Amino acid sequence: MRRARQKANGKSDSNAFTKACHDLNVSGYTIRPFWRDLPYTDIHSCITPDVLHQLYQGVFKHIIEWCSVLVDERELDRRIRCLPPSYGVRHFKNGISALSQVSGTERKHMAHILLACLVGKIPNKVMIAFRAILDFIYLAQYTAHDNDTLEYMEKALKTYHKNKAVLVELGIREHLNIPKFHSLLHYVDSIKELGATDNYNTEAFERLHIDFAKAGWRASNHRDARPQMVRWLVRHEKMAHHSPGLPESLAQYVYRLKNGRPLSTSQLQDALTNMPVNRLNVFHSFKFAPASLSDDNEETDAVKATPAKGQQAARFDTVVVLQGDDAEATGLQGTRIGRVKLIFKLPSTLNDPRTHEQLPAPENWATAGPLAYVEWYSKLNGSPDPTHMMYSVRKAPLRSNGLPVGEILPISMIRQSCQLVPTFPDRVPDEWNTHNVLDKASRFVLNNSASKYAYQTLW
């Protein structure tokens, strides 16, 4: 705006200033900003980082647009459609190219999978630049920071600036003077001054749009809706004030009517029954709480091992398993990647082969707990690829008897679920899809962008 005033200097009409602003790609409708006469005011220090609009709807939106130039959209969509299901990772069954009016939540889900789908398809320098931006986006969302994490943010930004020239060299952009990218320079200083970005992220307040507008609109008759929406909101606020426990009590009552028992806080139901020795207590999924990385955030995770049934395809999730004594809650040292094929528990009784009587199972069976049969991928050796910073694994060779390499282990050894993304050939085979890609492909990368938790643990 200062440059616009200088450009319009000597011209008394406001149109000259507005035109000068437009020439500089700046809104020129505010001639006298409200802070102009406020003493000791640096308006730039009042503008806080915005993860939702600056990072996901700004910076990452540009990356998506650049990908459409670097990679054929149909090929990228084919790769995305082929991704295997994974807990917490959205499956875009039609790809992403046809999406319009993309929400911030959808951008986040795209960020979880995009980088892994670009492996082997874009130049190394572009991959390094994109990886650096994603590093910055994930680091910027940490709920607590120290000197090390802030240094990681600065390092990621320097890596991007070191490699960004390739985007101009490839003709993707004429220049990289993009305001949203410039805003990244101020994140570290803002965090030092104001704290972590979750304290002032507009996403926290945008959710109120659901209560204040969408839910109220749905409750109206869509005619002269505003007074009805206000009335609906007032009533709900009064109810929340006078009977704050009503929603929970109502949910408990309805659940008790349906199932004959109240909701469990752990959400895990013990469904074991006495079964003969030739049968197992099989489960199709289990939920658990992996190690929390902060005191104020309890993580949840789930693993599925579901056989095909009717029109429903089979799903067998991939997981990180603790193996060595040096394994910890974060990092991949002492761990191995496997695919859960069966979740079960040993029976509590045995069949006597002579009398066919039911006998109690050994006492130590009860202490074994739920078990899982896991088929292994190759061991994690060396270090991640320097361009995309993801580890590679492949299917383990078959045993001499032709059977896959597998092992039965307690589910307590499963640290977390993970997503494997196939190392795609130049063109995705037509027969590959989300349901069979783990069976068809032989080499994979471990997607450490699948979630913020994965980003902090799969390194």
Nearest to 445 by CA among 138, 118, 160, 152: 118
- Domain end, chosen from 200, 228, 252, is at 200
In a domain, 274, yes or no: no
In a domain, 43, yes or no: yes
Q: Which helix (H) or strand (E) holds 152?
A: helix 147-163
Can you give the pLDDT at residue 441?
A: 93
Q: Tell whether 123 and 172 lie within a shared domain.
A: yes
Q: Which residue has the tokens 């807990």?
A: 87
pLDDT at 247 over 60: no
Q: Tell whether 113 and 194 lie within a shared domain.
A: yes
pLDDT at 257 over 60: no
In a domain, 168, yes or no: yes
Q: Tell whether 350 and 214 lie within a shared domain.
A: no
In a domain, 252, yes or no: no
Average pLDDT of the residues in 408-436: 92
Residue 191 lies in domain: 34-200
Can you give the pLDDT at residue 208?
A: 72
Encode pLDDT of 211-222 as tens digits: 778 878 888 888
Number of neighbours of residue 249 by Cβ within 10 angstroms: 10
Q: Tell whether 50 and 136 lie within a shared domain.
A: yes
In order of 269, 274, 344, 352, the CA distances from 349 in angstroms are 21, 6, 15, 10
In a domain, 249, yes or no: no
pLDDT at 274 over 50: no
Average pLDDT of the residues in 120-147: 93
When divided into structural domains, the chain yields a total of 4
In a domain, 253, yes or no: no
pLDDT at 198 over 90: no
Q: Tell whether 223 and 319 lie within a shared domain.
A: no
Q: Tell whether 195 and 218 lie within a shared domain.
A: no
Q: In residues, how long is the chain?
A: 459
Q: Tell whether 323 and 443 lie within a shared domain.
A: yes
Average pLDDT of the residues in 438-458: 93
Q: Tell whether 75 and 188 lie within a shared domain.
A: yes
Can you give the pLDDT at residue 110?
A: 94
pLDDT averaged over every residue in the chain: 82
What's at 168, amino acid-wise? V
Q: Tell whether 215 and 91 lie within a shared domain.
A: no
Q: Tell whether 436 and 449 lie within a shared domain.
A: yes
Q: Tell whether 139 and 188 lie within a shared domain.
A: yes
Work out the pLDDT band at 368, boundaries 50, 70, 90.
Answer: low
Q: Are strands 335-345 and 318-322 parallel, antiparallel or unpaired?
A: antiparallel
Can you give the pLDDT at residue 324?
A: 84
Burial 123-134 (b: 16+ CB within 10 A, else e): eebbbbbbbbbb
DSSP string, 71-114: S-HHHHHHHHHHPPPBTTB---TT-STT--S--HHHHHHHHHHH
pTM: 0.73
Can you give the pLDDT at residue 28?
A: 64
Number of neighbours of residue 315 by Cβ within 10 angstroms: 19
- Domain end, chosen from 241, 271, 295, is at 241
In a domain, 258, yes or no: no
Can you give the pLDDT at residue 275?
A: 33
Q: Tell whether 82 and 196 lie within a shared domain.
A: yes
In a domain, 268, yes or no: no
